[in-house]
């Protein structure tokens, strides 16, 4: 049971961090394009 | 929504915050107009000083007519004496500032030029002196009804200093939004980009201060309920507090969405030298919705400890456990929810500190081979780190508010958080810093700001780490 509980905690942590990281990467990448467009014009 | 007051004390509460807290925003926006030498914004700023002087009239009379209503148990008979006396001084200087501002505006309009530089400085100086008076009057005013602030601190309890700070701080996002929206709408209508940018800065700053407001509010809750305030001032209803903080949570989300979107537009403007008109209107809609939510939050907050403004129609006396906030507190206390969000919080501050360190080191003179604009590209990472950490930090706080707020490392963390987050705006706003090319030294003022930002975030992170170990 202890192993399952640990696994569940790891899985939940990885999932939450992955979702937030994906959102941040998307937003930073999108703003990078905004900056690129500005520097080209 | 209960924006139309039934009684003079209620009216006084609503109107008096504009010539006091509002004056801070009026002065800030006027300084922005002077620094940018934007004639139109200088004129609007002068007009606002005139408007605040006009608002001084209803503030004065509603105050006089409130005296008879403030005779409830627990308030000493002469409680309003000092407030009233000093209010005459403050309102006199407000009147002088307003009349002078309108006269300078009239002269500028008549001559068709910008307001005279000397006269602008005179108005600014007078307004700062008025603000000093208003701060004293405001604090005396708050202490009339809020006698609980005088309860001395007892070791082991939560200090009433938190309630005091919350009462001051919670007016900043609400009143700030009114001024921000006024300048934003004027800027949109007149297509004045300096006014639009200034309003966006107000929205971002209010978002940061919203987090501080929420935190001090959570602290105030413990100060007011554990142990309960004795009669006749108390006891304070937990249900009323919960009704208020449920809306405070909504406000936080509104402030965050408006603030982050506003920051994105400031970033876009830096690179593209123009705004996305669509996004500006999205920000306008978000800001209006947020202001409406904040108005209700503020009203509910006022109901907690202002029996004189309660009406028979108020229905916030239900079971305290039926609200959203206790439910979230219960959930986040479970390790399966707490640990993942805490992990995000740790990644969040690494992103913030990495960004701050990188940008600051360039400003200090390391990597001079890079132009500042290239280093500035990393700033979004820090901003999203701050956004993520305010969200996760609030969740963690909700797991055990009374423990966090009573730890000795908490207040420095909360003091330097808004300073660090707001000062970062300088990196995106300063034209001189932006113009720093490869091989060039950054301006000296940028170095001071970078040092302040770096120091602030160091204290925020150290404060967080020391939380479990240092007790009041």
Cβ contact (<8 Å) for A38 and B347?
Answer: no
Q: Is B471 helix (H, G, I), strand (E, B) or coil?
A: strand
Measured distance CA(B318)–CA(B274) in Å, rounded = 51
pLDDT value of position B337: 93
Cβ contact (<8 Å) for A12 and B335?
Answer: no
Closest CA to B377 of A18, A11, A30: A30
Which residues in chain A have their CB less than 8 angstroms from residue B341's CB? 16
Measured distance CA(B49)–CA(B23) in Å, rounded = 8
pLDDT at A41 over 70: no
DSSP label at residue B262: H
Q: How far is A30 from chain B (nearest CA, A)?
A: 10
**What count of residues does chain B have?**
472
Q: Distance between alpha carbon A4 and the CA centroid of its chain, in Å?
A: 25
Name which of A16, A24, A35 is nearest B271 (Cβ-Cβ): A35
Which residues in chain A have their CB less than 8 angstroms from residue B344's CB? 16-17, 20
Closest CA to B261 of B383, B401, B361: B383
Residue with token string 């958080």: B417
Q: pTM for the full model? A: 0.94
Residue B277, class by beta-carbon neighbours within 10 Å (0-12 exposed, 13-18 middle, 19+ buried)?
exposed
Residue A1, class by beta-carbon neighbours within 10 Å (0-12 exposed, 13-18 middle, 19+ buried)?
exposed
State the residue range of the domain holding A26. 1-41
pLDDT value of position B113: 85
Closest CA to B32 of B227, B193, B170: B193
B417 pairs with which residues across the strands? none
Q: Domains of chain B: which residue ranges?
A: 1-145, 156-310, 321-472
Cβ contact (<8 Å) for A37 and B272?
Answer: yes
Q: Distance between alpha carbon B340 and the CA centroid of its chain, in Å?
A: 29
Measured distance CA(B469)–CA(B449) in Å, rounded = 31
Q: What is the largest CA-CA distance in chain B?
A: 69
pLDDT value of position B227: 85
B471 pairs with which residues across the strands? B407
pLDDT tens-digit profile of B371-415?
999 999 999 999 999 999 999 999 999 998 888 888 889 999 999
First to last CA, chain B: 39
Cβ contact (<8 Å) for A28 and B270?
Answer: no
Cβ contact (<8 Å) for A31 and B341?
Answer: no
pLDDT value of position B401: 86
Residue with token string 């919350």: B166
Q: Are B204 and B314 in contact (CB under 8 A)?
A: no
pLDDT value of position B230: 84
Which residues in chain A have their CB less than 8 angstroms from residue B271's CB? 34-35, 37-39
Q: Are B160 and B148 in contact (CB under 8 A)?
A: yes
Structural domains counted in chain A? 1
Cβ contact (<8 Å) for B380 and A16?
Answer: no
Residue B94 exposure: Cα atoms within 13 Å on the Cβ side: 31
Q: CB contacts < 8 Å between A and B, how many?
A: 58
Q: Distance between alpha carbon B132 and the CA centroid of its chain, in Å?
A: 18
Low-confidence ranges of chain B (pLDDT < 50): none
pLDDT value of position B2: 61
Question: Where does the pLDDT of residue A38 fall: very low under 50, low under 70, confident under 90, or very high at 90 and above?
Answer: confident
Residue with token string 């604090």: B139
Name which of B341, B344, B380 is nearest A31 (Cβ-Cβ): B380
Q: How far is A38 from chain B (nearest CA, A)?
A: 4
């Amino acid at each position: 049971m202890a192993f399952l509980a640990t696994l569940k905690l790891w899985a939940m942590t990885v999932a939450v961090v992955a979702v937030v990281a994906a959102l941040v990467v998307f937003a930073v990448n999108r703003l990078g394009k905004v900056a690129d467009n500005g520097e080209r014009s | 929504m209960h924006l139309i007051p039934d009684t003079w004390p209620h009216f006084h509460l609503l109107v008096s915050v504009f010539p006091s807290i509002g004056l801070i925003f009026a002065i800030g926006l006027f300084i922005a107009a002077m620094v940018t030498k934007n004639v139109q914004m200088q004129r609007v700023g002068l007009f606002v000083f005139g408007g605040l002087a006009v608002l001084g009239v209803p503030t004065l009379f509603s105050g006089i007519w409130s005296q008879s209503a403030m005779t409830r148990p627990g308030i000493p008979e002469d409680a309003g004496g000092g407030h009233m006396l000093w209010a005459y001084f403050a309102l006199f200087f407000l009147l002088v500032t307003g009349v002078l501002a309108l006269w300078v505006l009239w002269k500028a309009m008549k001559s068709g030029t910008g307001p005279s530089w000397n006269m602008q400085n005179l108005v600014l100086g007078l307004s700062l002196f008025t603000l000093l008076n208003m701060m004293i009057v405001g604090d005396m005013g708050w202490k009339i009804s809020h006698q609980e602030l005088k309860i001395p601190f007892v070791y082991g309890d939560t200090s009433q200093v938190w309630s005091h700070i919350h009462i001051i701080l919670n007016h900043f996002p609400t009143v700030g939004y009114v001024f921000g929206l006024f300048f934003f709408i004027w800027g949109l209508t007149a297509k004045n980009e300096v006014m639009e940018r200034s309003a966006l800065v107000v929205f971002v700053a209010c978002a940061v201060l919203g987090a501080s407001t929420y935190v001090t509010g959570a602290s105030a809750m413990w100060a007011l309920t554990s142990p309960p305030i004795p009669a006749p001032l108390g006891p304070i209803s937990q249900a009323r507090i919960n009704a208020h903080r449920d809306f405070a949570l909504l406000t936080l989300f509104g402030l965050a969405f408006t603030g982050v979107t506003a920051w994105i537009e400031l970033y876009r403007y830096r690179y593209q030298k123009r705004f996305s008109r669509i996004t500006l209107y999205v920000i306008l809609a978000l800001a209006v919705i947020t202001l409406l939510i904040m108005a209700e939050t503020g009203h509910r907050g006022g109901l907690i400890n202002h029996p004189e403004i309660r009406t028979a129609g108020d229905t916030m006396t239900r079971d305290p456990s039926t609200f959203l906030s206790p439910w979230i507190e219960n959930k986040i206390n479970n390790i399966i929810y707490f640990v993942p969000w805490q992990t995000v919080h740790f990644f969040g501050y690494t992103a913030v500190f990495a960004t701050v360190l990188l940008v600051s080191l360039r400003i200090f003179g390391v990597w001079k081979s890079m132009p500042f604009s290239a280093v500035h590209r990393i700033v979004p990472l820090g901003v999203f780190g701050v956004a993520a950490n305010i969200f996760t930090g609030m969740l963690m706080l909700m797991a055990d508010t009374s423990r966090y707020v009573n730890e000795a490392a908490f207040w420095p963390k909360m003091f330097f958080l808004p300073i660090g987050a707001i000062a970062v705006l300088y990196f995106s706003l300063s034209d001189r810093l932006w113009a720093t090319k490869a091989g060039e030294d950054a301006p000296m003022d940028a170095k001071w700001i970078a040092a302040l930002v770096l120091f602030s975030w160091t204290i925020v992170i150290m404060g967080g780490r020391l939380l479990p170990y240092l007790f009041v």
